[in-house]
Amino acid sequence: MTSSIGIPALDLNDFINGDAVKRDAFVHALGRAYEDIGFVALKNHGLSDELVAALYAEVTSFFSLPNRVKETYNLPGMAGQRGYTPFGREHAKGRNTGDLKEFWQFGQYDVQQGNVVDEYPPNPIVSELPGFNERGREAYKTLEKTGFEVLRALALYIGLEERFFDPWVIAGNSILRAIHYPPIDSDPGDAVRAAEHEDINLITLLMGASAEGLQVLNRKNEWVDVTALPDMIVVNVGDMLQRLTNNMLRSTTHRVINPPKEKWGNSRFSIPFFLHPRSDMPLNVLDVCVDHNRPKAYEDISAGDYLNQRLQEIGLK
């Protein structure tokens, strides 16, 4: 099945609870989609409408706080990985102009495996909004669980053991980012809400944004609009997974364009979940993805070193 936005629409329940035929069909459709365009629309993802609405309400309230209050959650030394990052701070790789956005990032919760907890700073508590952190935590844990299932299906498609990714992504360095694109009050010049880019992580899970603007670059080099889908989230491949699979799975270029001038006065909100592995995961190209026709394309590197490299490239570190 294809969604109205031209990307495959899949039912995660086919993989989690389906029989062998449905599971195999899901695995094949997911893998083919990620080879072709890098995006799918996914239903039965675990997020309730009530949680999504409650989280967006909390996020809207946070970004409505005075700048002096938000700045108290701009934590030094965090490279934007926890708390608040001010407007214009982040830019796309290869650009110097900052994106027209501010954001908040929730990190890992409840880590009790080995000494991983020592790597992760705590999530700052927004005292002005009692429900903000709890709604963020609920969405984080829900999307994390969904992401694990997607990676299990992809492991099978690649030719790996189903739970190959589990030891690396359980207690991983994942991020839930709440983004506010404020109203545009003057000519932005060459600045856009989010310049064209590829995500850093393994996969990204995106609940419906509050307004249009997201576009995906397809294989014909055409920009395709991606709008909010009822009962679905959008899931795409990131650069880490593309690197692991030696370009077998595609990390697709996407962007958030500025609205028409008559809509400059409107805010846009978006909440993606970036599923990252633990920092000690090797991002070395998988042996099953190398052959005579597809020689190894990337040097060996750890997930932590790769993330640091990319955070420097986008101006956060």
Q: Tens digit of pLDDT for each residue in 6-35?
A: 678 999 999 999 999 999 999 999 999 999
User: Does residue 143 lie in a domain region?
Assistant: yes
Q: Please check whether residue 69 lies inside any domain of the structure.
A: yes
Residue 2 lies in a domain: no
CA torsion angle for 71, 175, 56, 195 (degrees, to 10)? Answer: 80
pLDDT digits (tens, 9 = 90+) for 162-212: 999 999 999 999 999 999 988 877 777 777 777 787 889 999 999 876 557
Low-confidence residues of the chain: pLDDT under 50: 1-4
Return the pLDDT at 39.
Answer: 85
Question: Six-digit token pair at 177?
Answer: 């980012």
**24 is a domain residue:** yes
CA 274 from chain center: how many Å? 3
CB 11 within 8 A of CB 44: yes
Closest CA to 90 of 200, 183, 251, 224: 200
Q: What are phi and psi of 182, to 5 degrees?
A: -70, 165
Domain around 274: 9-313
Q: Is residue 297 part of a domain?
A: yes
CATH number, domain of 65, equals 2.60.120.330
pTM of the model as a whole:
0.91
The pLDDT tens digits for 137-148 are: 999 999 999 999
The reported pLDDT for the residue numbered 193 is 76
Q: Report pLDDT for 266.
A: 84
Q: How far apart are CA 9 and CA 39, in angstroms?
A: 9
- Please state the domain count of the chain: 1
